[in-house]
Amino acid sequence: MDNVIDFINVHRDRYLEELKALLAIPSISALPEHAPDVRRCAEWCADEMRRVGLQNVRLVETPGNPVVYGDWLGAPGAPTMLFYGHYDVQPVDPVELWDSPPFEATVRDGELYARGAADDKGQVFMHLKAIEAFMKQNGRLPVNVKMILEGEEEVGSNNLDDFVRGHRQELKADVVVISDSPMFDRGVPSICYGLRGLAYFQIDLRGTKTDLHSGSFGGAVANPAYVLATMIAQMKDKGGRIRIPGFYDDVRELSDAERAEFRKLPFNETRYRKELGAPKLFGERGYTTLERVWGRPTLEVNGLLSGFTGDGAKTVIPAVAMAKISMRLVPDQHPDKIAQQFEAYVRRIAPKSVELTFTRMHGGKPWMTSFDNPFVRAAGRAIAKGFGKEPVFTREGGSIPVVSTFQEELGIPSVLFGVGLPDENAHAPNEKIDLGNFHNGIVASAIFYQELAGVAVHA
């Protein structure tokens, strides 16, 4: 094992340069014009899998972007780990808020800034380098590895369920490993045991066939931008509680034990608020900030557009108004049921003076695992050695819908082995990864594979 870790320490600078090349590919899955970049990125990943020593590497086509597959199955009797990551990234708008170009990875103060640095290219690359170190030094891995990288995580993983369902046999494994989440804080490595789900919608209202002069027509017709605001305002009460009928029916309340664990974590609310630049924190009445983000569902407006939005004053009654609205879900809410409840509510509160178009965009289920799973404990030991500190156990507010898919389709647990930071700016300008964590993450990944080898499995 020491020779593997030595190899990782020696090649630190090379890893950074290689990662920069991966981050230079603008593989934005949400924007059709970047489709060629998404494919180029898939090919880059396949080439890299081959370089580090994986076998059977190929692009598996889907109705959307391809899944990149590779494996190494030379450890009979040892457990098989299925690594899941994604090579697509979020859009970069508003691009003018980036301090360096999003696709020219730039180091500042020990952190690497680029779209995808943390979510998820940097964390995928960590595992590729751990695999490379074993293969170069020992010519083998301590466990069997199957690796899949998808290209649609940032747009809802619409084709991954079918891919997994269609390749149940090839993907057979003992545990799924995913590195796509942040650690609790700088210097506080963590294992995440719960994720929120997602339900995402678009609401379009039309008031009239064209924009109208607000003088000549103001007062005669409903203004869809105004109506949209009144509809949104009916979605939550003043205490931040969501008013969609039935929304909370399936919410699993936080246990006293969890709430007690969360309270022990080194969470400084003032520092958190200042880092976000918020004048005041705000959330559902009756819960702490960590409880709100990890264990409670939310409803957010993700985008608003209507009428004249340029500089100056245009006296127009907009013909149309649009809102993107999404909810984060917690166990045991189901995105399909939530979608039905939300659509019914929106149709009920929409006045007859506007035409409503309701679009379901995508959803993902929430997920939780148990602490005493042997794979989770192996990950805990690896993190303790790689980072020199026992991990804390946390939940995460984000969604990794595929975790539920693996549980349901393959019947195996997931280990969320994430080394991002809470201020990594995933999905926002100036996304970054801490280079120290990136390096320790490669070491911890290598140790994790070794620890996994010791977990007894049904051969």
Comparison of 15 and 342: residue with beta carbon closer to its own copies: 342
Q: Check the CA dihedral 94-96-97-101 and report its sign.
A: positive
How big is the site for its own copies, counted in residues (CB under 8 A)? Answer: 102
Integer Cα distance of 369 and 451 in angstroms: 19
CB of 57 to its own copies, least distance (A): 29
Of 381-420, which residues contact its own copies (CB under 8 A)? 396-399
Q: Do residues 392 and 265 lie in contact, with contact meaning Cβ atoms separated by under 8 Å?
A: yes
CB of 377 to its own copies, least distance (A): 26
CB of 322 to its own copies, least distance (A): 7
Q: Check the CA dihedral 247-397-101-122 and report its sign.
A: negative
Q: Is 99 marked active-site? A: no
Angle between helices 35-52 and 12-23 in degrees, nearest 10: 160
Per-residue 3-state assignment (H helix, E strand, C coil) for 89-131: ECCCCCHHHCCCCCCCCEEECCEEECCCCCCCHHHHHHHHHHH
Q: Do residues 115 and 101 lie in contact, with contact meaning Cβ atoms separated by under 8 Å?
A: no
Virtual CA dihedral for 432, 434, 440, 441, nearest 10 degrees? -20
- Tell which one of 40, 73, 91, 373 touches its own copies (CB under 8 A): 91
CB of 24 to its own copies, least distance (A): 22
- Tell which one of 106, 144, 179, 223 touches its own copies (CB under 8 A): 223
CB of 160 to its own copies, least distance (A): 15
Of 416-445, which residues contact its own copies (CB under 8 A)? 422, 425-430
Q: Check binding of 266 to its own copies (CB under 8 A).
A: no
> The tokens 């969609």 sit on which residue?
244
Measured between its terminal Cα atoms, the distance across the chain in Å is: 24
- The site map against its own copies for 350-379 (x = CB under 8 A) is -xxxxx-----xx-----------------
Comparison of 264 and 280: residue with beta carbon closer to its own copies: 280
- Tell which one of 135, 225, 402, 403 touches its own copies (CB under 8 A): 225
Closest CA to 118 of 437, 432, 441: 432
Comparison of 122 and 397: residue with beta carbon closer to its own copies: 397
Q: Check binding of 79 to its own copies (CB under 8 A).
A: no
* Number of C-beta neighbours around residue 309 at 10 A: 9
Query: Which residues, 6+ apart, have CB-to-CB distance to 264 below 8 Å?
Result: none
Integer Cα distance of 88 and 28 in angstroms: 6
CA distances in angstroms from 47 to 56, 215, 325, listed in the order given: 12, 62, 38
* Number of C-beta neighbours around residue 451 at 10 A: 22
Q: Is 153 marked active-site? A: yes
Q: Check binding of 63 to its own copies (CB under 8 A).
A: no
- Tell which one of 70, 85, 194, 318 touches its own copies (CB under 8 A): 318
CB of 346 to its own copies, least distance (A): 13
Q: Which of 150, 153, 258, 431 is catalytic?
A: 153
Of 107-166, which residues contact its own copies (CB under 8 A)? 155-156
Of 275-314, which residues contact its own copies (CB under 8 A)? 276-284, 289, 292-293, 296, 298-314
Of 178-197, which residues contact its own copies (CB under 8 A)? 182, 196
* Number of C-beta neighbours around residue 363 at 10 A: 22
Q: Check binding of 229 to its own copies (CB under 8 A).
A: yes
Interface stretch with its own copies, choices 244-252, 331-339, 345-353, 375-383 (CB under 8 A): 345-353
Instruction: Write out the catalytic residue numbers.
Output: 88, 153
